[in-house]
Amino acid sequence: MFKRMARKVASRVKDEDTTIRPTSQVDFLKDFLSKHNYVFSQDFEENLEILKKKHLVDDFVVTNFDGSVVASSNGNGQSDGIMGTAMFSYIKSEIPDSEAVLIKREDGWFMLFALNKKVFIVRAGSDLSGIELKALALELSILMEENKETKMEKRVAR
Amino acid sequence: MTRVIVIASGKGGTGKTTITANMGIALAKAGKKVLLVDADVAMANLSLILGMQSSPITLHDVLLGESQVHDAIYDGPNGLHFIPSGLSLDNYKRVDSERLSGIIATIADQYDFILMDAAAGIEKNVLSALSAAQETLLVTMPTSPAIADALKTKIVAQRLGSKVIGVIINFVMGEKGEISKSECSSILELPVYGSVPYDPEVRKSFMQQKVLPVIARKPDSIAAKEMQKIASRLIGVQVSNSDDHKDKKGFFSKFTSIFRRNKK
């Protein structure tokens, strides 16, 4: 009994380390980044899908100011494109210094944003900040530019 | 060329603000032109750590468009410059943190380093800080919840186009259950810039008549030395990787230290 008590006192004084490495949590964390690894492929449509996941949005449509669709993550953004561009152009004409338009609908948020002479119409579950919209628009612009270059190269190769 | 670096972590209480303040002083001591920005607009306390809490014009006023950024820059310890955020809650809801990026861009060319102390979490204020910086330096602790939050912050920073350059592991005590430096590096897929030991001197620095970061108050303390090394790495100076803070005391030294403490 004395021995046990002495060991306890010694352990207290020595501040013994009783911690253990949480193996299962470490294993879980090791796998975490692989689930958020966004590697773009050669396929433009596939890349739009990847971008959608990366930026946590439901859908997006990119249009010219005349409403013609440049890119769409659901493959069919014609009606959203026309409506979104018309809405953005109207707001912009009424409030010239407006940067983005946010519309709350039953099925989520619609965010309209212009960059590099294109209108970006983004649908998401919750509203995105201007920063997030800009980040998505910038990455989309790069992707569209690369896609244009690839198409040009293919045309030249032919 | 100016390096704009945001110090972020996701989790609160990892020591972001303390590390920002100390690294800023270390970089200034090394002759660099340094600006510290308290980008935690809601829970600002970098000014308290620097002992500069009574600044009349703050980042809040600049973000509100009511003051010019140059009017919110103050002289801090060791020649560094500092933009505080307002400590009062009056204005913070009105503040548009999305303007931060533009504000930083107007003064960036005057400095070698701009270090921004981000808030915890991944809310709008944090996103603003992350997108205003080209580089992100994560601060974590050697525990799974802190690393999980650092992982999320890394993903968000990358999404916003900020390059995550590395991670600092803070409050290292050398316990068996801690996630090791190499494991942190492999989980986060980032180089470890430094591993700052738990040091009571850091805490004691806040409990003085004149509050000063530990690197200025006790430059020989183990945490200060490690933060000095991290700053050197940021500048690009080669430093040894010796883990000199692993000074585990033996039974007798701990036993005798109890009596020494009691004598005081």
- Judged by CB atoms closer than 8 Å, whether chains meet at A21 and B176 is answered as yes
* Tens digits of pLDDT across chain B (264 residues): 899 999 999 999 999 999 999 999 999 999 999 999 999 998 999 999 999 988 899 999 999 999 999 999 999 999 999 999 988 777 778 888 999 999 999 999 999 999 999 999 999 999 999 999 999 999 999 999 999 999 999 999 999 999 999 999 999 999 999 999 999 999 999 999 999 999 999 999 999 988 899 999 999 999 999 999 999 999 988 776 555 445 455 565 555 555 555 444
Across the interface, which of A36, A54, A131 has its CB nearest the CB of B127?
Answer: A131
* Tens digits of pLDDT across chain A (158 residues): 778 888 777 766 777 888 999 999 999 999 899 888 888 888 999 999 999 999 999 999 999 999 999 999 987 788 889 999 999 999 999 999 998 999 998 888 999 999 989 999 999 988 889 999 999 999 999 999 888 877 777 766 65
The residue of chain A nearest to residue B100, with distances taken between CA atoms, is A131
Cβ atoms A112, A121 nearer than 8 A: yes
Across the interface, which of B131, B151, B177 has its CB nearest the CB of A19?
Answer: B177
Residue B179, pLDDT score: 96
The model carries a pTM of: 0.86
Report CA dihedral (B167, B171, B173, B176) to the nearest 10 degrees: -60
The residue of chain A nearest to residue B151, with distances taken between CA atoms, is A33
- Judged by CB atoms closer than 8 Å, whether chains meet at B187 and A26 is answered as yes
Across the interface, which of B144, B160, B189 has its CB nearest the CB of A25?
Answer: B144
The candidate with the shortest Cα–Cα distance to A78, out of A87, A88, A66, A67, is: A67
